[in-house]
Structure 1
Amino acid sequence: MRLVLLYLCIICHGMATVDGARTNVSGGKPKSSGTFNVKEYGARGNGRSDDTKAFLAAWDAACKSSGQVKILIPSGTYFLNPIEFNGPCRDVQSLKFQMQGTLRATTDLRKYGNGKGWVEFRHVDGLTVTGGGTFDGQGAVSWPFNKCPKDKNCKVLPTSVKFVNTKDTVVRGITSLNSKFFHMALLGCHNFKGSGITISAPGTSPNTDGIHLEGSTGVTISGSKVATGDDCISIGQGNSLVTISGITCGPGHGISVGSLGRYNDEEDVKNVIVKDSTFQGTTNGVRIKTWANSPAITKVQNMTFDNLVMKNVDYPIVIDQTYCPFAKCDNSRASRVKLSDIHFKNIRGTTKRPEAVILRCSKGTPCQKLSLHNINLKNIGFGGTLSTCLNAKAEYSGNIFPPPCQ
């Protein structure tokens, strides 16, 4: 699912005092550094009062300050309408968003503009989001309105947390609960480090991807638990230098590269590593998916999937260049997304279906430099274990089970 990106740089601006809070927001000498507690700006944290203006006032004051800055969200539950935390914060060396409480999203979909998220961090450098708090998207109310699994022209529901055009971002030790759509999206980000992230939604929740990447470079995601109704992590178009490790994924659809090739202006995806992770009861393990009849030529290069454990996974290893999530798609032309240097290594465990390895490459641009090394996957259901291939010539080494395609 490709998000519509709105790169609008809204410079931090002065706001009036909220609910009798302190008045060092517009005018006067900005605070040089220190802690900006949202409660000092009028936030109540009772789960019912709208705390949006108080959060914006605290952000505005912090963004106008200098040095090392912390925005503190103490324990409590803070009700928020859609909110944008905008930079650049020119004199701030580092900005910590210390979230100890729970942020709770409005369920009124009329509050969200088309393509907008709930909490967005935009054009900020040196941001750290941490503190053990929770983003509660309250998505269950909205899931029945999601028509995207059946309608390719659907209206996209809001993503819980977006990072747009940020640099040197750290997200550590936070939780995202029951997003309406994607839990977290990285759009046009550089040097992003995520660790200790917990993402949770029911396996039946539609399009609740855990972390979605698009147009980003230098991304590391490690030591995190993702349980959701769609891809645990989805790597979309235009990403490079991505390392994913130590992920516990399930329920969900696994870790996916794609879908790719649906739009004309997509950029290449390259230099991706997925390693040292476990998949529990997921639909897929690791998957590359591209649309047939793709309008433009895109390259997917240099990908390694290494040291992965599959536990009762339907389809552990998948390349699908005929991807179609709808009842009917135009397959009159083969996918023009070019896959090369794709390596599956040291992948082991159990499957619930016979097809443990599926290599379905494009007839027009068959996969190149595709290899499998030390694969050991056994079906615990009926029908044995097998590999299926289409337009795929792979190199095999080490111990291989199921046997290679004939």
Structure 2
Amino acid sequence: MAHQENLVKIAQEGFTMVEEFYSRSRSRPERLLHENSVQKTYPAWRSFAAPKTIDTYQAAKKYGGIVVLDGRRKYCIASTVLFLILCSALVSCHAAGGRAGRAVVTTFNVLRYGAKPGSKQESTQAFVKAWRAACDFDREARILIPPGVYKLGETIFQGPCKSQTPITILLQGTLQAVSDISAYPDKGWISFDEVNGLLLTGGGTIDGKGQDVWKYDDCKTNPACTHLASSIYMTKVRNAKVKSIHLINSMGFHMHITNSYLVRFHSLKITSEDGPNTDGMHISKSNTVKISRSIFRTGDDCISIGQGSSNVTINQVTCGPGHGISVGSLGKRENELDVQGLIVKNCTLVGTTNGVRIKTFPASGPSKASGLLFKDIIMQNVKNPIIIDQNYGSDSTKPSLVKISDVVYQNIRGTTISPVAVNLQCSSQVPCKNIQFHNINLRHISNERVSSTCTNAVVQHTGLQSPLAC
């Protein structure tokens, strides 16, 4: 039996040939069949082939075979052959369990697995059971979370899964964290582990109830502190998309992405203005991560790029309040991986303590941060619009060994509340190299003079420079 997709293609081509053949040949049956070539785009099966010219004679001959006849005998035989082709293809598709161009999606509703919305009862196990059923299903699966509030403790969505298509989680309700810090022994509240293919969407809300546990965060006074659980923790995740979700009041990071590949985020709203260490998103040891068209209002960095991150793009993001968009902190641990390939563009920062920042610890081990582009960015009342701080988070006099190079700041404009709009404090051991400024236009909100400060940095500049480059 032919592959199902091929059968669908045959049927679609056959329908098209019948339509065109009858419409063009009815008035002139003497016309040769192969003269009725047509040019048409077929959106119903665009994935099978690019738009092309269908030679009706050759197509009929290929799929059913006809003899070369003239006049009405050819017209009748060709029509009969095409009809038989269609019947055969459609019967075969039915036998294969398919419908032309459409896949059947099986829905796993968390209510059927015991989830209880609107009550104090936890629904953690019900969610895990629904996930397990969908993950073990070998065809396209969707998990439905209907409107309502669902209480969850630590919830782990474990892969790998059987389906070759991404699992969809349609979040229409609100997930609310249990306010017991002992319920989260690991790094995440809602975790995705070793999942290849995921779509999380639906317009729902993920509420970390961080206001109930922020008092346990002692990271400002305890260097060996353990961060509170992230609302979403992804590790070893591939081919995933998160869109149209609202995250509020995380305990720790709202989202932590690590050891992952090809993960995309867009149309997110992340809100937690009061919590400590409530980064909107932290990325580490991951390749090809894209964030776009989202709003971050956080108590820490809107987005932070950690060690081992590469090919990260941040586009059309609004950040503020918060600590800005940061590379780092880098160099806190031994043997850290390099950061390479970051694009931050078309972003707006409003009332943040920093704009675009690179931060590394002094006395760090050797690593690199290179290939960084900050482009087309608007600053509105930002304290430190452009800053490199290689003495971050420590009083040590030993220099950082994180090498910063090939950094471009282009078309950055707006207002600052600080007289120092550009502040580059680089390492004396490994100075910043190839730092480029193109068209910088920053002014003080009170029309005071603004300046640049650069230490251990090799800077090049072109175009407008306000403040004047170092």
Question: Secondary structure of 1:126's match?
Answer: strand
Find the aligned partners of 2:292 and 2:202 in 1 and give their Cα distance.
17
Residues 82-161 of structure 1 correspond to what in structure 2 (within 5 A)? 82-113=154-185, 115-161=186-232
Given that residues 353 and 382 in structure 1 are in contact (C-alpha distance below 8 angstroms), is that contact kept between their aligned partners in structure 2? no
User: Which residue identity lines up with residue 124 of structure 2 in the other structure?
Assistant: T
Indicate the structure with greater strand content.
Answer: 1
* The structure with more helix, counted as a fraction of residues: 2
Answer yes or no: is 1:393 the counterpart of 2:462: no
Q: CA RMSD in A?
A: 1.2
State the Cα distance separating 1:150 from its structure 2 match.
2.3
Q: How far off its partner does 1:155 sit?
A: 2.7
1 CA distance for matches of 2:447 and 2:211?
35
SS of the aligned residue for 2:140 comes to strand
1:189 aligns with 2:260: yes
Residue in structure 2 matched with residue 241 of structure 1 by the alignment: 311
| Contact 2:140-2:163 within 8 A present in 1 as well | no
Q: Which residue identity does 1:44 align to in structure 2?
A: K
1:357 is aligned to: 422
- Give CA deviations for 1:120-178 in whole Å, capped at 9, x if unaligned: 01101110000001110000111121111222112321111111100000001001100
Q: Spell out the pairing of 1:5-404 with structure 2 (5 A cutoff).
A: 34-113=106-185, 115-202=186-273, 204-294=274-364, 296-324=365-393, 329-381=394-446, 384-404=449-469
Output the CA distance in 2 between the equivalents of 1:92 and 1:149. Answer: 45
Equivalent residue pairs, number:
367
Structure 2 CA distance for aligned equivalents of residues 99 and 259 of structure 1 = 33
Aligned to 1:29: none
Structure 1 position 47, deviation (Å): 4.2
- Please list the CA deviations of residues 34-77 of structure 1 after superposition, one character each: whole Å capped at 9, or x if unmatched: 00000011111114211111111111111110121100000000
Deviation at 1:383, TM superposition (A): 5.0
Tell whether the 8 Å contact from 2:335 to 2:366 is kept in structure 1 after alignment.
no
Q: Contact 1:63–1:92 (CA<8 Å) still a contact in 2?
A: no
* 1:265 Cα deviation after fit: 2.3
**Aligned equivalents of 1:244, 1:332: Cα separation in 2:** 34
Alpha-carbon deviation of 1:205? Answer: 1.6
Provide the rounded CA distance (Å) in 1 between the counterparts of 2:288 and 2:275: 30
After superposing the two structures, state which structure 1 stretch, 380-389 or 125-134, moved more: 380-389
The structure, 1 or 2, with the larger RCO (C-alpha pairs under 8 Å, 6+ apart) is 1
Identify if the C-alpha distance between structure 1 residues 47 and 372 changes in structure 2 by more than 3 Å, giving closer, same or farther: farther
Structure of greater Rg: 2
Please give the alpha-carbon distance, in whole angstroms, between the structure 1 residues aligned to 2:391 and 2:447.
26
- Residue in 1 aligned with 2:53? none
Looking at structure 1, the residues matched to 376 and 152 of structure 2 have their Cα atoms a distance apart, in angstroms, of 41
Q: 1:47 to 1:275 in 2, by over 3 A?
A: farther
Any conservation in 2 of the 1:385–1:402 contact (CA below 8 Å)?
yes
